[in-house]
Amino acid sequence: MTHDLYLDLRGIAKEFGSFTALKNINLQIRKGEFVCFLGPSGCGKTTLLRIIAGLEVQTRGDIFQDGKDISTLPPAQRDYGIVFQSYALFPNLSVADNVAYGLVNRKTPKAQVRQRVTELVKLVGLPGSEPKYPGQLSGGQQQRIALARALATRPGLLLLDEPLSALDALERVRLRGEIRALQQQLGVTTIMVTHDQEEALSVADRIVVMNHGVIEQVGTPTEVYREPASPFVADFVGKANVIQGEVRDGTLHAGGFRFGGSGENRSVRVYLRPEDVLARPIAEGDPHVFDASIDKIDFLGSYCHVHVSTPTVAPQGLMVYLSLNYLAEHSLQVGSPLRLRLLEERVKVF
Ligand code: ATP
């Protein structure tokens, strides 16, 4: 971690009057990494991004960027480009002038500015758009130009504050793919704030899951999804079935099943992802098989979210994913009985 450490947040805290928005945030980000700050509304993710940008001043703590202490530098003296949620382009400036903004501020020679602008609008997939005005562009196109503007001065750090949340679903997915591809092509260290777990899982190298001003977990998308560090993370990232259980005499009892496991006697909550409840193949003699019946089928295309009732395992029922083909093959519909199996090795106990 240390040799390619790029951004180092040490003990960052932020108080607004008596309200604590951030508590002792420690985080290291490597050069070239794409990191997402993920969390529910009000968890402090935007405040943390704004502190990194110098747009908000931390109450305590230090920030080092590329080995340099930037803790008290004003925004203009920091090395980053930023894209905000709502299109923050200057409406009275053309695309070319918007993209050129930072370069002109740095007194870059005119010919060089023009060349760089041409290069940037091409990079974000909008070649030839230089003479247009923001009002003539779609939301997605405006965000692409905002991205070009943020990258114009070749900053060491790209900060994205919910850049996709004002766009429609299709455009959001398309642009997030483009942002990721661009980020990898340029190798620019990037932080994106989002409250959308799917977005974070699909683009990030690492996800910082935040809640009430603290970091709950930092990990790769797979780690955060597969090995959530807390019930909050398990609930917030992906879907989870919850089964009440207890550890008794070194064995976990939950949903009428016994699982291997250990630890002292206590009540626990057992988390299991929908995809870890399987309809097939049911192995002979598998101890974690149970009967259920279908309550509800949410048709989502090739896969369906199927809610089953199974009073012996979980009074509130369980969610499983079944393919449309599987449902059709077995003529399953609401009210149908089916046998299911829990994947013991995926059971997560809190
Ligand atoms: P959202 O997605 O809704 O923006 P967030 O996780 O980004 O949520 P922040 O905007 O960082 O949350 O805000 C964190 C907390 O700090 C919130 O409870 C917010 O009300 C509070 N807060 C933010 N800015 C200020 C301010 N200038 N004065 C007082 N409280 C603030």
Nearest alpha carbon, ligand 1 atom 27: 16
What is the chain's percent helix, strand, coil content, to nearest 5?
A: 30, 35, 35
Give me the CATH number covering residue 133.
3.40.50.300
3 pLDDT above the threshold of 70: no
Per-residue confidence (pLDDT) for residue 304, from 0 to 100: 95
State how many domains the chain has: 2
Residue 119: CB partners within 8 Å, gap ≥ 6?
Answer: none
Spatial distance between the Cα atoms of 348 and 275, rounded to a whole number of angstroms: 13
* Ligand 1 atom nearest to 14, measured from its CA: 16
Cα 182 to averaged position of ligand 1 atoms, centre (Å): 29
160-202: per-residue pLDDT in tens?
Answer: 999 999 899 999 999 999 999 999 999 999 999 999 999 999 9
Pocket lining: 21 vs ligand 1, CB cutoff 6 Å: yes
Which residue's alpha carbon is at the smallest distance from atom 28 of ligand 1? 16
The DSSP bridge partners found for residue 304 are: 299, 322
The answer on pLDDT for 1 being more than 60 is no
Percent of the chain topping pLDDT 70 = 99
Q: Note down the domain range covering 131.
A: 5-235
Strand extents, DSSP E, 77-172: 80-83, 157-161
pTM: 0.91
Lowest mean pLDDT among 2-6, 56-60, 62-66, 124-128: 2-6
Please say which residue of 202, 235, 268 terminates a domain.
235
Residue position matching structure tokens 């369906």: 304
Same domain, 20 and 105: yes
Report d(CA 86, CA 64) in Å as an integer: 28
Backbone angles phi, psi at 9, to 5 degrees: -100, 125
Residues 180 and 318 in one domain: no
pLDDT, averaged across the chain: 94
The structure tokens listed for 164 are: 């996709």
Mean pLDDT throughout 290-312? 93
H or E stretch covering 27: strand 19-30
Packed helices 95-105 and 110-123: angle between N→C axes, nearest 10 degrees? 130
Domain check: are 27 and 77 in the same one? Answer: yes
The set of residues, in sequence order, having a beta carbon less than 8 Å from that of 209 and lying 6+ positions away, is 38, 39, 215, 216, 217, 218, 224, 232, 233, 236, 237
> Pocket of ligand 1, candidates 12, 15, 16: which has the most ligand atoms within 8 Å of its Cβ, to mutate?
16
| Ligand 1 atom, smallest distance to 162 CA | 2
Closest listed residue to residue 212, CA positions, set 14, 16, 42: 42
Q: Calculate the alpha carbon distances from 81 to 70, 181, 307, 331 in Å.
A: 15, 17, 45, 55
| CA-closest residue to ligand 1 atom 20 | 42
Residue 300 belongs to domain with CATH number: 2.40.50.100
pLDDT on residue 142: 95
Q: Is the pLDDT of residue 280 over 80?
A: no
| 136, pLDDT greater than 60 | yes
214 and 123 inside one domain: yes
User: How confident is the model at residue 270, as a pLDDT?
Assistant: 92
Give residue 317's pLDDT band: very low, low, confident or very high (50, 70, 90).
very high
Q: Do 226 and 244 sit in the same domain of this protein? A: no
Asked whether residue 302 carries a pLDDT value surpassing 90, the answer given is no
pLDDT, residue 335, reads 96
Q: Compute the distance from residue 16 Cα to the ligand 1 centre, in Å.
A: 9
Q: Do residues 134 and 276 share a domain? A: no
pLDDT of residue 260: 81
Q: Which one of 235, 260, 288 terminates a domain? A: 235
Q: How far is the CA of 50 from the centre of ligand 1 (A)?
A: 11
Whole-angstrom distance, CA of residue 210 vs CA of residue 137: 34
| 45 close to ligand 1 (CB < 6 Angstrom) | yes
Claim to verify: residue 226 and residue 316 sit in the same structural domain = no
Task: Note the pLDDT of residue 283.
Answer: 73
pLDDT tens-digit series, residues 69-124: 999 999 999 999 999 988 789 999 999 999 999 999 889 999 999 999 999 999 99
pLDDT tens digit string along 208-232?
999 999 999 999 999 999 999 999 9
User: Is any ligand 1 atom within 6 A of the Cβ of residue 57?
Assistant: no
pLDDT at 2 over 70: no
Strands 206-211 and 60-65: unpaired
Residue 263 is predicted with a pLDDT of 82
| Atom 16, ligand 1: residue with shortest CA distance | 21
C-alpha 22 – ligand 1 centre gap (Å): 10
pLDDT band (50, 70, 90) for residue 5 = very high
Are residues 174 and 284 located together in one domain of the fold?
Answer: no
User: What DSSP line would sit under 162-205, residue for residue?
Assistant: STTTTS-HHHHHHHHHHHHHHHHHHT-EEEEEES-HHHHHHH-S
Which of 235, 268, 297 is at the close of a domain? 235
How many angstroms is it from 278 CA to the middle of ligand 1?
A: 41
pLDDT band at 45 (very low <50, low <70, confident <90, very high): very high
Residue 301 has pLDDT above 90, yes or no: no
**CB 219, CB 200: distance < 8 Å:** no
Share of the chain above pLDDT 90, in %: 85
Sort 19 into a burial class: Cβ within 10 Å, 0-12 / 13-18 / 19+.
exposed
Q: 292, 340 in Cβ contact below 8 A? A: yes
Question: Candidates 12, 18, 46: which one to mutate for ligand 1, based on the most atoms within 8 Å of Cβ?
Answer: 46
